[in-house]
Amino acid sequence: MPPFLPYGRQCISDADIAAVIAALRSDFLTCGPKVEEFERQFAAFVGAKHAVAVNSATSALHLAMCVAGIGPGDRMVTSPNTFLASANCAAFVGATPDFSDIDPVSYNLDPVSLDANWQADTKAVIAVDYAGQQADMPAIAQVARKHGAVVIEDACHGTGGGFVHEGKAWKLGGHPWADMTVFSFHPVKTMTTGEGGMLVTDNADWANRARRLRSHGIVRSPADFVGLVSPSEPQLSAFSFQLLEKGPWHYEMQDLGYNYRITDLQCALGLSQLAQIEAFMARRRTIVARYNAAFADLAWLVTPGLRNPADRDYISWHLYTVQIDFQAIGKTRTQVMAELRRKSIGTQVLYIPVHLQPWYRQTYGYGPGKCPVAEAYYTRALSLPLYPAMTGADVERVQAAVLELAGN
């Protein structure tokens, strides 16, 4: 039996292992220089002013909601074709997560449908870059900003990638059509820290508040202290003057925060992975091009479409998702997945439309028909193995197995 090819997996080099061992031997396991260095290098890499590293992209999305001031009475609209976290973050802050349909080519939020279904209480949009291909952020930002809503880009799938707008290339996280951008470093993503996420923004106040909320809302810089008591408070006793003292131990909780900290070990790995990301992306693009060529003539399979063909050389592909006409080949998706599994090939279905998840149906009354394009897309979606360590022979094995599905 040939080795199993999962739909995605990390790529860990000797340099990565050495970087983590060096961090283990250093004075800091967490909250040390590697966190700051990772934030600095990541911000420079994507072209953002500020980067805040956290323990997951889910945490980063939650912090994005908090610093944008989204809360009860507000609506946040996202794509139904995403992982739960892109929507759940609005529920975390008491806002209403809502969904607008995707376009049938890129499987990303459709700006026309977003505009047509806009509701007055919508205060934020989270656009997801499905599979790594950018949502139409210039058009989405135009719709959202017209209504005064915050634009957040969930670029969890596309770390390192970019897109072309009016002839100019931009990087995810480093363009003017998102107010904040979130990245994930989960092992199946395009670079990893084990678990981890990043929030980037050009807004210094939002970045500072996100950094504070990352660690219990604690402030340690004397310049920001407000003090525990003021000398004029009537209930001060004779000894209370000691409460005025702000010695070297002093810290203040000025906000209700969380423990969303990421460790130095993880950021040491992140720095090492960042140094390899161009090679990772290039390999992913090569594999995608080979798959596309092999499947181009199949009437029962649609390869990933591009919203803008010029993006081809800039996308950081996380997933290779095809649309299969299962009826045409006379097999269910479960049968297809089992057939490929018998050939040691892993596949995955990404994503079940979030508005159809039982909790969303029960809590918000959403149901089938709300996002028909995403629902139709889901019935045909299948993600094939895609990761940099795949060899040419691995890619050919997947190609052959897919072609054999319909007896080609």
Ligand X SMILES: Cc1ncc(COP(=O)(O)O)c(C=O)c1O
Please work out the total of residues on this chain that contact ligand X, with binding judged by CB under 6 A.
Answer: 14
320 lies in the binding site for ligand X (CB under 6 A): no
When the beta carbons of 46 and 128 are compared against ligand X, the nearer one is 128
Backbone angles phi and psi of 321, in degrees to 5: -110, 125
Peptide bond into 366 cis (omega under 30): no
156 lies in the binding site for ligand X (CB under 6 A): yes
321 lies in the binding site for ligand X (CB under 6 A): no
- The structure tokens listed for 120 are 């007055």
- The distance of closest approach from Cβ of residue 118 to ligand X in the complex, given in angstroms and rounded to an integer, is 22
Closest CA to 127 of 158, 104, 165, 96: 158
When the beta carbons of 184 and 383 are compared against ligand X, the nearer one is 184
- The distance of closest approach from Cβ of residue 154 to ligand X in the complex, given in angstroms and rounded to an integer, is 5
315 lies in the binding site for ligand X (CB under 6 A): no
When the beta carbons of 158 and 326 are compared against ligand X, the nearer one is 158
How far apart, in whole angstroms, are the C-alpha atoms of residue 46 and residue 182? 12
Q: At what angle do helices 392-404 and 333-342 cross, to 10 degrees?
A: 140
When the beta carbons of 82 and 347 are compared against ligand X, the nearer one is 82
**Is-catalytic flag, 370?**
no
- The distance of closest approach from Cβ of residue 108 to ligand X in the complex, given in angstroms and rounded to an integer, is 11
Q: What are the strands, taking DSSP E only, across 95-190?
A: 96-99, 122-128, 150-154, 162-165, 168-171, 180-184
When the beta carbons of 80 and 388 are compared against ligand X, the nearer one is 80
- The distance of closest approach from Cβ of residue 134 to ligand X in the complex, given in angstroms and rounded to an integer, is 13
212 lies in the binding site for ligand X (CB under 6 A): no
Q: Which of 146, 189, 331, 343 is catalytic?
A: 189
Task: Find the binding residues for ligand X in span 24-83 (CB under 6 A).
Answer: 56-58, 82-83
Task: Find the binding residues for ligand X in span 250-289 (CB under 6 A).
Answer: none
197 lies in the binding site for ligand X (CB under 6 A): yes
Chosen residue from 64, 67, 128, 274 binding ligand X by CB under 6 A: 128
For residue 379, give the H/E element and its range.
Answer: helix 372-380
Chosen residue from 10, 86, 266, 323 binding ligand X by CB under 6 A: 86
For residue 137, give the H/E element and its range.
Answer: helix 137-146
Closest CA to 227 of 219, 216, 235: 219
For tokens 């596949």, the residue is 347
- The distance of closest approach from Cβ of residue 186 to ligand X in the complex, given in angstroms and rounded to an integer, is 4
85 lies in the binding site for ligand X (CB under 6 A): yes
How far apart, in whole angstroms, are the C-alpha atoms of residue 193 and residue 187? 7
Q: Are 347 and 382 in contact (CB under 8 A)?
A: yes
Q: DSSP string spanning 245-258?
A: ---TT--EE-S---
- The distance of closest approach from Cβ of residue 374 to ligand X in the complex, given in angstroms and rounded to an integer, is 14
Q: Which amino acid is at 64?
A: A
- The distance of closest approach from Cβ of residue 58 to ligand X in the complex, given in angstroms and rounded to an integer, is 3
When the beta carbons of 273 and 405 are compared against ligand X, the nearer one is 273
Site string for ligand X, 347-376 (x = CB under 6 A): ------------------------------
Give the SS3 label for residue 242: helix
How far apart, in whole angstroms, are the C-alpha atoms of residue 237 and residue 311? 68
Burial class (CB in 10 A: 0-12, 13-18, 19+), 215: middle
Interface residues with ligand X (CB under 6 A) are 56-58, 82-83, 85-86, 128, 154, 156-157, 184, 186, 197
Residues marked active site are found at: 189
